[in-house]
Amino acid sequence: MKITDYFAKSLGQTLVSFEVLPPLKGGSMADIFNTLDPLMEFKPPFIDVTYHREEFVYNKRPSGYYEKFAIRKRPGTVGICASIMHRYGIDAIPHLICGGFSVEETENALIDLNFLGINNVLALRGDARQFEDKFIPETDGHKYAVDLVKQINDMNHGIYLDSNIEKGTPTEFCIGVAGYPEKHFEAPNYSQDIEYLKQKIDAGASYIVTQMFFDNKKFFTFRDACLKAGITVPIVPGLKPITKKYQLTSIPRKFFINFPEDLVNELLKVEDKDVKTLGIEWCINQCKELKTEGVPCLHFYTMGDVDTTYKIVEKI
């Protein structure tokens, strides 16, 4: 079923959903099932599975020189989606990125998804590769997520890259895109970022999932700004509890978000062992307020931490 249909059928009730990462190469589906089995109690209608492009690793050779390899440490997004759908009978949403894909490879990936009965996709640009200071698309690849959305939308209208295909079977992808309550770090300013987000919606995306945030005011401001810009699709808040003190610096560095002063002050006061309890409590309060505000769904970045996610969701 399309993700937007779940929202439409929920009759104003807030749903919950989870995002999982493919296990590191060498891991197994048990890693994913161990995370998801306990969370199924909360009846998530869908699970997101992230996509990870290749990374560079350096191996030291006997000569002392280093050899550079490109490897994908977390492959398996599509297989995991199919397995989730098979095991739990719910929808799985693969993340699809522009980085590392030519337009033809993208088309072929979408055909695979379509044939597998996966008809939801989160369309993203992806980040710069490790050791590159900006995102570089493939020569024949998409530069921005909006271009990927356009390609998927074309396929939904039976338009494939090969112009000789006159009556291509239309796909039925429901397309989600990313939004940033605290602005994407590369955008020149907040309103321009919203304008680019609007372009993704106009190109065919049907809902937005946000970057994590710890201050609900940022989300409400973002939601208002979207509405003002004419974006009326469902906006799903992305949530992650803080569980360790070092995340006070690692999360802003990686995700370009700010922690609210109250949270930082409280976290700095407590001992390391108490950080998780406080982070869980903070996230529960965030969720309760977001629910009261009528968000369609609370989307949790589990990052494999089932225990923490469970403790939050059981309280909301």
- Which amino acids are annotated catalytic? 19
Q: Phi and psi at residue 182, in whole multiples of 5°?
A: -110, 25
- Work out whether 205 is an interface residue with ligand FAD (CB under 6 A): no
- Work out whether 121 is an interface residue with ligand FAD (CB under 6 A): no
Give CA–CA dist 135/137, Å, rounded.
6
DSSP 14: P
Residue from 146, 233, 287, 298 that binds ligand FAD (CB under 6 A)? Answer: 146
- Work out whether 201 is an interface residue with ligand FAD (CB under 6 A): no
Residue from 6, 18, 46, 51 that binds ligand FAD (CB under 6 A)? Answer: 51
- Work out whether 145 is an interface residue with ligand FAD (CB under 6 A): yes
Minimum Å distance from CB 188 to ligand FAD? 8
C-alpha 75, offset from chain centre: 16
Residue with tokens 């998409």: 142
Minimum Å distance from CB 187 to ligand FAD? 3
Give CA–CA dist 30/256, Å, rounded.
32
Residue from 196, 234, 284, 303 that binds ligand FAD (CB under 6 A)? Answer: 196
- Work out whether 2 is an interface residue with ligand FAD (CB under 6 A): no
Residue 307 tokens read as: 């225990």
C-alpha 53, offset from chain centre: 14
Give CA–CA dist 152/101, Å, rounded.
14
Cβ nearer to ligand FAD, comparing 144 with 310: 144
- Work out whether 209 is an interface residue with ligand FAD (CB under 6 A): yes
C-alpha 259, offset from chain centre: 20
- Work out whether 187 is an interface residue with ligand FAD (CB under 6 A): yes
Number of chain positions touching ligand FAD (CB under 6 A): 21
Q: In three state form, how does the secondary structure of 213-278 look?
A: CCCHHHHHHHHHHHHHCCCCCCEEEEECCCCCCCHHHHHHHHHCCCCCHHHHHHHHHCCHHHHHHH
Residue 311 tokens read as: 């403790």
Cβ nearer to ligand FAD, comparing 66 with 185: 185
Cβ nearer to ligand FAD, comparing 84 with 145: 145
Residue 172 tokens read as: 């039925």
Window of 54-62, 125-133, 162-170, 222-230 that interacts with ligand FAD by CB under 6 A: 125-133
Residue 136, CA distances (Å) to 30, 86, 189, 190 in order = 35, 36, 21, 23
Residue among 179, 190, 186 at smallest CA distance from 146: 179
- Work out whether 113 is an interface residue with ligand FAD (CB under 6 A): no
Residue from 72, 129, 184, 245 that binds ligand FAD (CB under 6 A)? Answer: 184
Minimum Å distance from CB 54 to ligand FAD? 11
Minimum Å distance from CB 97 to ligand FAD? 5
Window of 37-45, 120-128, 150-158, 265-273 that interacts with ligand FAD by CB under 6 A: 120-128
Pick out residues in 233-272 that bind ligand FAD (CB under 6 A). 238
- Containing H/E element for 176? strand 174-179
Contact set with ligand FAD (CB under 6 A): 50-51, 95, 97, 124-127, 144-146, 178, 184, 186-187, 193, 196, 200, 209, 211, 238
